[in-house]
Each structure stands twice: as structure tokens, then as C-alpha cells.
Chains A and B, each alone.
Chain A
Amino acid sequence: MEKSPYTGVRRFVLINMILVPFIPFLLALGIGNHSFSRSIENSTIASMKRIAGDHRQMIESFLLERQNDLELIINTSSFTELVRPERLSSIFLQLQRITSAFVDLGIFDDTGVHVAYHGPYDLSGKLYRDTPWFQQTLKNGIYISDVFLGYRNIPHFIIAVAKKENERTWIIRATVDSQRFDNMVRQIRIGKTGEAYLLNRSGVLQTDRRSGGNLMESPREKIPLPRNGREIHTFIHREGREEPFLYATTWLKDQNWVLVIRQEKTDAFMALREARMSILFISLVGGGCIVAAAFTLTGAIVRKMEKTDAEKALLSQQLIGASRLAELGEMAAGFAHEINNPLQIISTELSLIRVLQSEMIESGQLTPGEPHEQVTDSIDQIKLQIDRCSRITASILKFGRQGESRSENLDLTVVIPEIIQMVQKKAEVHGVRMECRLPDTPVRVTADASRLQQVLLNLLNNALDAIIEQRGSTGGIIGLDLSTGENGTATIDVSDNGTGITPENMEKIFAPFFTTKPVGKGTGLGLSVCFGIVQQMGGKMEVTSTVGKGTTFSIVLPA
């Protein structure tokens, strides 16, 4: 295939066969990838938001319940009741039964004096008038602090509720176990790296964080706090060279704490990565298939083209060969004819020389002897060579010129038996049975009798050869069937049970000079001449054959 004229075609077909399917293929994959990524991103972010919302709800309701606990106490008991230590103790125990979140319980009067206390530390009598939480509680009626260490030096936060009673305001304050609250906030788990924590307004951690960072520390990364409101904000933040995280942030109800839910981006978008891997896999496999198919098909197309072109070249060569043969025939015929005239003269001159020679001997002008015999020998030789030339021209003329055809109205039922008669003897010698099946009524066609004879003799002789090659001298059958078709056409089928023709030879049997016979045995012209004759008669010649079973030639002649 190298350097063949098909290189260009090959490249063109190959490029097109790769590019044309590749463009829609890549487009489909690209669009699929894009919308799939979008959808996964959206659903990941949406689920992040939902988790943040649910978690916020849970934390808020925890805080609200604790607040409600305190409000229940403050509304069902009076100040005087609660300052009694045994009463306060019993209320605290009741409270502990509902939830173990509370660590202690204290009552403050409007001057900030810690009038009653129940808990592990003795804090009664301390003055809190100037502390910010006390001021805030008086002002707002409710206060939830940030986490702080306080006198106790352990992290905790407080919930305080104020009540106006008989023109006096008093406050109940409870400390919430920071550890328990911590666990509740952190209990959330998303994927491998998902976590939740709380920050206060200054960005200080209000809970421990699983990925590092303890309570009351400021985390290294500085994430933007959300705008005030209930909205949940999602964004991707990357601190330095660390893994980027997907964040969801939102304020809790009292706007003091920010709930942060975050997950490593790669973890959050794991599904996306998996999808992308499969898309990559599909595009590699699909692309490979396209390229492989393109190569295979291009190869097949180019091979087919090469085969067709080669056949075309062979056919045109054969056509040129045939027309050259015709020209050669014409030329040879003319040439032979022209040679015959001088040969005739030489021949008569020679006769004259002979006559003169014998006359000279008779008259004694020439004496018989050695030189005379040599002359006679020369003359004989000339005679011999003239005859040889004459044989050559005769054979040239026989081959070259077929003469003009003479169409006449023939009755095939009469002509065919005559032709069969000619090969009957040869067939009998080889033990071949001739089966001739003719209709009872005359079958008339317009054809040249001698040419039709030439065609049929050729076919019959071929059939005999095929039978002899296949079966020797036993069991050969040649069938000759005559039938009539539409528009008065006549069909002659010559069938034999000889060797048959291989499919590859089938295409070439009518080509001039094609023969399967050994060199010198066949000219390869017989069938091509027959084909030409039948075509000239306006008929058709077809062949069907099975190797080892036999061959049938069909000639269809017009009326």
C-alpha cells in the first residue's frame, strides 16, 4: 500500500471517519459532563444547606427548651420561694430529671446580688451588678452568653432570664454544661470530612472542632461571617495550601452564634469525581472504538477500491487486447492475401524453371551430374518453402478474418441435431451420453448458421473436455436443452457434469486469452469469441457452475 495512489484517499476517508463521529461524540460527552456536574454540584450544595438548616433547627430548639425551662420556673415560683435554698435545690433536681444539661442554678435580685445558688460551687453573695450579662439580661429579659471560663475556670455558657414581679426585677441564671452542648453540635457527620461547629461574632470557636481547633480558640482560617438574617450561605474557601472546603454558614436565632458546616471539597464532590472518571473512561473507550472502526473501515474501503480498480484495469486491458486482436486480424488477413500474389508468381516461375531445365537436359545443353542435382535440390527447397509460406498465410487468414455474418431464418430444432451429429463420435469415444431435448414445434431465430455452429461446437467441446478431466471415460452426460421464452426468444442450455468452474475463474472465462488449459492446448479465445458472436446476434450468454458438479452455459437468442 506504500506510495500507492490510494494514500490520499485513505487519509481523507480516515480523517473524516474519525472526525465526523468524534465531534458529536465529544459534544455529547461535554454537554453530559457539564450538566451532570452542575446537577451534582447543585444537589451537593442543596444537601449541605438542608443539613445546615436541620442542624440549626436542632441547636435552636435545644437552646429554646433550656430557656423555656427557666421561664417555667420563674413563672411558677415567686422570688421569695426561690431564694429558699431547699426550694431551689428541689427545683434543680426536678430540672435535672428533664435534662442533665444544667450544671447549676442561681437567683439574682435587681442589684446584682447572687441571693441563692444551687450547684457545685459556692457562689452565693457575690455581686454581679456591673457584669455585661447582668446588664444585658435586665435590658432584654433573656441572655445567652458566649462560652467563657468565669470564676470556675472551665468552659461553660449561661442562660439568664429576668422577671418583673411587684416592681422588682429578679433574674434566674443557669449554667449549661458546655461539654454536652459541644457533643450535640458536633454529632453531625457528613462524608469523611464533614463537620459542624459554632463561632461567636468575633470568630471564636464556641465548640470543639473535629478537624482541630479547641473551644475558645480562633481557627486559623478566616471565613467571612454571613450577613445578618436567616439565610444559609454556601461558598468554597481555601486557606493557604490546605485542602479547599465547602462551607455552609448561618446565624442562629439570637444572632450571636454562627453555625458552620464544612466538608472538604474533594469529599463533598466525590460523586462528581466518580462521574468524571466514568466519562473519561467512556470517552477513551469510545474514542478508541471510533479510531479502530475508522481504521478497519478505511482499510476495507481502500482494499475494495484497489480491487475494483485492478479489475477495471484488467478489463480495459482485455478490451484493448481484444480490439488489438481484431486490428491484428484485419492486418494479418490483408498481409496474407498480398503475400499470396507474389507467392503465386514465384510458384509459376519455379514451374517454368523446372520445365526449362528438363528441356535443356533433353536437348543436351545441360549434362546431368553433381551441379545439376544441386540445382534441382535448390529448386525443390524453394518449392518446399513456398508451400510453407502458403500454409502460414492460410492459418493467418483462418484465424484473422471471420468474414461478415449472414443472418438467416433458422429452425433451431433442425440446426441443433446437425451440430450434435458433429461431436457425437467424439462423445461416444469418451463414453459421454448426449441428451438432447428439443420441443416438437419449430423454434425460429434469425442468426448466422455457421457462427451458431461455431458457438455450439465450442461449448460442446469445452463440455467434453471438462467431463474427460473430471470423470475420464465413464458417466459423462452432456445435456442440450432448447426452450422458448418471452417475445419468441430461444434459450439453448448446454450443461455438463464435468469439473465446473471456480468462482474466481467465473469472472474471467469470457475474457480473451484466459484459459485453464495447459500452455499450447488452449488459446483462451474460444469463449470470448463465442461471447462476441452471441452479442453480435443480439443475444445473451450466461454461465452457472458448481465446482465438481458441472457447468451450464445458457444462450438466449432473439427471435
Chain B
Amino acid sequence: MEKLKMMLVDDEERFLSTTQKLLERKDFDVQTASSGAEALEKLRTKPVHVVILDVKMPGMDGVSTLREIKRNFPMVEVIMLTGHATVESAIEGLKSGAVDYLMKPANLEDIVAKAMDAFNRRVDIEEKIRVARMRGLMKSPREMLKNA
């Protein structure tokens, strides 16, 4: 199975570095970004499977970052990370295409579990796409014959 690549987006540097360390020990490929803009920038060069995105950030906030990610990288799964007060923005995030949300303070286990779920979902989808493509390929010679 492909190694899960994820990106953490939060304005708390220490949270990013510690969580990165922990996740890397669990053998995940982890990048970090301390703002929405940085996250989008990094996604361009190093694509990931799952983004853990803090809702409340200075500058571009979580929901707008989510929309940008979904627009530019539709195959990236996003998990919203929220304080209680912003449950509503988490819901808005879900409506805008986030796959799940996490309440702060979140356990590492929860983060991993949800990231894995999202990753599996992604893998499922990719699998379906692959199957569909294969079917398309298998069909194509006949169609080519027909058309010819």
C-alpha cells in the first residue's frame, strides 16, 4: 500500500513540529504549513493525500483555504481541526467538501484514525477510477474496430 502522505496546517509552530515528529515515527510522510497560503504553495510542489487544516488561522482562514485546496487539488482529502466555538465553520467546511472534522484538543490516535479513514476513502476512489479506466481501455479496441 502506498505510504500515507499528509500535511498539517496550523498557526501554532510547536503543534506542527511535535505532531510531525509523532506522525513520522508512525511512518507517515508529513509536511507542515503555518498558513493557508503556504499550504497551497507547498501542495503545488509536493502533492499529499490528506490535509489536516485548522479552521481558525490568521490571514486566509480554514474554510477559504479548504475551498482553494478543493478547487485546485480535488483529489486531496481535507480534515478540519476546530475549537468548539467554530463548530459551525467546521460544518460549513464539511459542506464545502471537507471529509471530516476534529475537535481540539485532539488525540494523536484520533488524528491518525481519521487520516487513515480519509486516506482509505481516497484509495477507494482511486481504485474505482483505475478500474473505470481499465474498463475504458478494454473497451476501446472494439470501439476502435467499430469506428474503423
Chain A nearest CB from B27 CB (Å) reads: 12
Residue contact A344 to B85, C-beta cutoff 8 Å:
no
Decide if A352 touches B18 in the complex (CB within 8 Å): yes
State how many angstroms separate the Cβ of A65 from the closest Cβ of chain B: 131
**Is B85 within 8 A of A333, CB to CB?**
yes
Are A348 and B15 touching (Cβ within 8 A)?
yes
A397 and B107 alpha carbons, distance in the complex (Å): 20
Looking at chain A, what size class is its interface with the partner chain?
Answer: 20 to 34
Q: Cβ of A344 and Cβ of B105 under 8 Å apart?
A: yes
| A394 to B15 Cα, complex, angstroms | 21
B85, closest chain A residue (CB): A337
With A341-B104, A386-B105 as known contacts, state yes or no: A348 contacts B22, CB within 8 Å.
Answer: yes
Look across to chain B and name the residue whose beta carbon is closest to the beta carbon of A401: B85
Does B19 sit within 8 A of A, measured CB to CB? yes
From A333, A345, A355, residue with most partner B Cβ within 10 Å: A345
Shortest CB–CB separation between residue A419 and chain B, in angstroms? 21
- Identify the closest chain A residue to B14 (Cβ): A345
Interface residue A169 (Cβ < 8 Å from any Cβ of B): no
Contacts A340-B84, A393-B84 known; A351 to B104 CB distance under 8 Å?
no
Tally of A-B Cβ pairs under 8 angstroms = 62
Contacts of A403 in B (CB 8 A): 88
* Cα distance A347–B85 in the bound complex, in angstroms: 19
Question: Across the interface, do B105 and A343 meet the contact criterion of CB distance under 8 Å?
Answer: yes
List B contacts of A345 (CB < 8 A).
12, 14-15, 18
Contacting pair A348 B84 (CB below 8 A) = no
Which residues from A are CB-within-8-Å of B85? 333-334, 336-337, 397, 401
Interface presence of A346 (CB below 8 A):
yes
Whether A346 pairs with B108 at a CB distance below 8 angstroms is no
Near B by CB (< 8 A), chain A positions 331-390 give 333-334, 336-337, 340-341, 343-349, 351-352, 355, 386, 390
Among candidates B83, B86, B88, B107, residue contacting A351 with C-beta atoms closer than 8 Å: B107
Tell me whether B21 is interfacial, beta carbon within 8 Å: yes
CB within 8 Å of A: which of B102-127? 103-108
Cross-chain contact B83 with A390 (CB below 8 angstroms):
no
Minimum CB distance partner of A406 in chain B: B88
How far does the Cβ of A307 sit from chain B's closest Cβ, in whole Å?
A: 43
A508: which B residues are within 8 A, CB to CB? none
Q: Name the A residues within 8 Å of B12 (CB-CB).
A: 341, 344-345
A355–B25 contact, CB under 8 A? yes
How far, in Å, is B88 (CB) from chain A's closest CB? Answer: 6
CA distance A403 to B90 in the complex (A): 13
Which residues of B, 1-59, contact A by the 8 Å Cβ criterion? 12, 14-15, 18-19, 21-22, 25, 56
Residue numbers in B under 8 Å from A334 (CB-CB)? 85
Q: Which of B14, B21, B22, B83 contacts A340 (CB 8 A)?
A: B83
Size bin of chain B's contact surface: 20 to 34
Q: How far is the CA of A347 from the CA of B12 in the complex (A)?
A: 13
Q: Could you tell me if B25 and A347 are in contact, using CB atoms closer than 8 angstroms? A: no
Answer yes or no: A50 CB below 8 A from chain B CBs.
no
Residues 387-414 of chain A: 1 if any B CB is under 8 Å from the residue's CB, otherwise 0? 0001001100110010110000000000
Which residues of B are found within 8 Å of A343, using beta-carbon distances?
104-105
Residues from chain A with a CB closer than 8 A to the CB of B14 are 345, 349
With a cutoff of 8 Å between Cβ atoms, the chain A residues found around residue B106 in the complex are 344, 347
A337-B84 contact, Cβ under 8 Å, with A344-B104, A344-B105, A348-B22:
yes
Q: How far is the CB of A343 from chain B (nearest CB, A)?
A: 4
Q: Which residues of A contact B88 (CB under 8 A)?
A: 403-404
Within 8 A of A (CB), among B64-123: 83-86, 88, 103-108
Once the chains bind, are B108 and A336 in contact (CB under 8 Å)? Answer: no
> In the complex, what residue of chain B is closest to A396 when comparing beta carbons?
B84
User: Quick one: closest B residue to A332, CB to CB?
Assistant: B85
Could you say which of B18, B56, B83, B107 contacts A336, with CB atoms under 8 Å apart?
B83
B94 to chain A, nearest CB (A): 16
Evaluate whether A348 and B19 lie within 8 angstroms (CB atoms) in the complex, with A341-B104, A386-B105 already known: yes
A393 to B12 alpha-carbon distance, docked (Å):
19
In the complex, what distance in Å separates the CA atom of A393 from the CA atom of B106?
A: 13
Alpha-carbon distance A495/B8, docked complex (angstroms): 53
Interface residues in A272-301 (C-beta closer than 8 Å to B): none
Q: With the chains together, A390 CA to B110 CA distance in Å?
A: 15
Contacts of A340 in B (CB 8 A): 83-84, 104-105
B86 / chain A contacts, CB cutoff of 8 Å? 337
Nearest-neighbour CB distance to chain B for A390, whole angstroms, equals 5
**Cα–Cα, bound, A349→B85 (Å):** 23
User: How distant is B15 from chain A, measured CB to nearest CB, in Å?
Assistant: 5
Most buried by B among A345, A348, A351, A355: A348
Is A346 touching B21 in the complex (CB atoms < 8 A)? no
Q: Check A351–B22 contact: CB distance below 8 A.
A: yes
Shortest B97–chain A CB gap in Å is 20
**Contact residues in B for A397 (Cβ distance below 8 Å):** 83-85
Task: Write the chain B residue with the least CB distance to A390.
Answer: B105
Within 310-343 of A, Cβ neighbours of B (below 8 Å) are at 333-334, 336-337, 340-341, 343
Closest to B25 in A: A355
Give the residue name and chain of the B residue nearest to A333 (CB). B85
- CB-CB under 8 A from A351, the residues of chain B are 18, 22, 107-108
Partner of B107, one of A346, A347, A393, A398: A347
| Chain B min CB distance to A326 (Å) | 15
Q: List 11 A-B contacts (CB under 8 A).
A: A334-B85, A336-B85, A337-B83, A337-B86, A340-B83, A340-B105, A343-B105, A345-B18, A348-B108, A355-B25, A394-B84
Chain B residues proximal to chain A, CB less than 8 Å = 12, 14-15, 18-19, 21-22, 25, 56, 83-86, 88, 103-108
The 3 closest A-B pairs by CB, nearest first: A397-B84, A343-B105, A344-B105
* Given A337-B83, A345-B15, A351-B107, 15 additional A-B pairs, CB 8 A: A336-B83, A337-B56, A337-B85, A340-B105, A341-B15, A341-B83, A341-B104, A344-B12, A344-B104, A347-B108, A348-B15, A352-B21, A390-B105, A397-B84, A403-B88
